[in-house]
Amino acid sequence: MVENENQTAKSSKDFIEMRGKVTELLPAGSFKIRLDNGQEIRGFLSGKMRLNKIRILTGDEVKVELTPYDLSKGRIIYRF
């Protein structure tokens, strides 16, 4: 049986999704976020959140996408 190459190759959609809380607003549309596991990262708004003008304030719960290559930065994809 031949193994499918698409199953072994990583796709561009391999992200780690985590929840966190915004602790600080930083310049240039970035935020300091404390994840549920205690790690602190820098987060940026995703394109859809910018287009829909979603505002984020200190204390908001957010969902963040992290790439496995750099776990210190993430993209904010949802505000709870």
Whole-model pTM: value is 0.79
**pLDDT computed for residue 13 by the predictor:** 75
Domains of the chain as residue ranges with CATH: 15-79 (2.40.50.140)
Tell me the residue type at 51.
L
Phi, psi of 65 (to 5 degrees): -100, 125
DSSP 8-state symbol, 69? T
Tell the burial category of 48 from Cβ atoms under 10 Å away from its Cβ (0-12, 13-18, 19+): exposed
Give the DSSP H/E element, type plus range, for residue 44: strand 40-45
**pLDDT computed for residue 69 by the predictor:** 94
Q: What stretches in the chain show pLDDT beneath 50?
A: 1-3, 5-10
